[in-house]
């Protein structure tokens, strides 16, 4: 039996060394399992490749015309992997040293479980986006049978191949949900163990700077891209039903329409301007009360607007065959 550990990276010079070392240490807990570590790089411009090259790893990097996305990294690593099991991590994560034995024990006892994960310990909660994400996905990271394994996990290769491919290269977000839905539609299940899988360090830049970067990197197009993928593959209904964010963005459009109506009305009567200001402030106040923080409440509303604005662009974005070979080069076999 062989395990392939895929570390997806993009400019992770500060964390990639520690990430690889955590995997090497964790593999010592399963000495009877053959293993390989694959660094799947989406075009790093810093010292990520240089640092990773110091370790006993395989390094693959995308080449033009392939472009960086959240979906391209896992699939890049998968296409070079040979293991019957595949573990997925980000390059800014640390693998828990005792996770693998328990994961393999569970998979061995439950042959229709496609993948297992554990707790994702978010280390950096100074950033509003990561604080908000921890609160938003709390229901998704509960223990037991889950509808997705956000944050990575250990998967069966047989299940992935039955689902068609590991991750959709066209998706700039929601790639793990997309994989999970394809697996579940084929009768597989996913399970989150009651123990830690990884520590995740994430970004420590200003939250609003991160939001603008996610716009420029097309990360925010993920929801629209997922809708298009679901439509093309005949599972649009399931995508909409299982993603409450989509209904939220539609609510944002309705809010914008009402604000525009009030703004136009203010040209004819002062009450229109009063209504505009009240409706503009009300969601911020409501979210601030819910989050018990004005800072988090304001950020949530701004983030909603960014996501809603990006949705149409994602729907209209071009798609390549998600199962096609990703243009790449082995920098270190």
For the residues 85-98, what does the mean pLDDT come to? Answer: 97
pLDDT tens per residue, range 210-229: 899 999 999 999 999 999 99
pLDDT tens per residue, range 33-68: 999 999 999 999 999 999 999 999 999 999 999 999
Q: Which neighbouring-strand residues pair with 3?
A: 35, 85
Under the banding of pLDDT at 50, 70 and 90, the label for residue 255 is very high
Cβ(58)–Cβ(37) below 8 Å:
yes
pLDDT over 90 for what percent of the chain? 86
Under the banding of pLDDT at 50, 70 and 90, the label for residue 202 is confident
| Terminal-to-terminal C-alpha distance of the chain | 20
Instruction: Tell me the average pLDDT of the chain.
Output: 93
Whether the predicted pLDDT of 130 surpasses 60: no
| Alpha-helical segments (H) within the chain | 16-27, 48-52, 72-80, 99-109, 128-136, 157-163, 175-184, 207-216, 222-232, 236-241, 244-265, 270-291, 294-316
In the chain, % helix, strand, coil (3-state, to 5) comes to 50, 20, 30
Distance, C-alpha 222 to centroid of its chain: 9
Domain spanning 2-206: CATH 3.90.550.10: yes
* Parallel, antiparallel or unpaired: strands 85-90 and 153-156: antiparallel
Under the banding of pLDDT at 50, 70 and 90, the label for residue 127 is low
Domain residue ranges in the chain: 2-206, 237-316
């Amino acid at each position: 039996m062989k395990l392939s550990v895929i570390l997806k990276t993009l400019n992770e010079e500060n964390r990639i060394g520690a990430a690889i070392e955590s995997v090497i240490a964790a593999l010592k807990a399963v000495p009877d399992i053959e293993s390989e570590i694959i660094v799947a790089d989406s075009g790093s411009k810093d010292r990520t490749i240089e640092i990773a090259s110091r370790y006993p790893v395989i390094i693959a990097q995308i080449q033009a015309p392939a472009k960086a996305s959240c979906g391209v990294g896992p699939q890049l690593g998968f296409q070079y992997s040979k293991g019957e099991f595949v573990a997925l991590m980000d390059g800014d994560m640390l693998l828990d040293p005792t996770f693998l034995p328990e994961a393999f024990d569970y998979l061995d006892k439950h042959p229709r479980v496609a993948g297992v994960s554990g707790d994702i310990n978010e280390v950096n909660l100074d950033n509003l986006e990561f604080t908000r994400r921890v609160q938003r996905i709390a229901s998704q990271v509960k223990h037991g049978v889950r509808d997705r394994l956000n944050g990575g996990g250990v998967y069966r290769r047989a299940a992935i191949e039955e689902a068609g491919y590991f991750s959709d290269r066209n998706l700039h977000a929601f790639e793990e949900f997309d994989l999970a839905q394809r697996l579940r539609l084929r009768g597989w299940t996913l399970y989150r163990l009651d123990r830690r899988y990884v520590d995740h360090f994430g970004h420590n830049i200003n939250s609003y700077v991160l939001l603008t970067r996610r716009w420029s990197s097309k990360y925010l197009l993920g929801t629209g891209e997922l809708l298009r993928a679901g439509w093309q593959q005949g599972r649009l209904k399931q995508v909409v039903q299982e993603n409450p964010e989509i209904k939220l963005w539609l609510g944002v459009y309705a809010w914008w329409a009402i604000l525009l109506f009030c703004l136009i009305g203010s040209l004819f009567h002062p009450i229109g301007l009063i209504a505009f200001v009240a409706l503009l402030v009300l969601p911020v106040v409501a979210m601030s009360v819910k989050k018990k923080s004005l800072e988090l409440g304001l950020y949530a509303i701004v983030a909603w607007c960014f996501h809603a604005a990006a949705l149409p662009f994602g729907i209209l974005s071009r798609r390549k065959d998600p199962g096609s070979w990703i243009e790449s080069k082995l920098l270190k076999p």
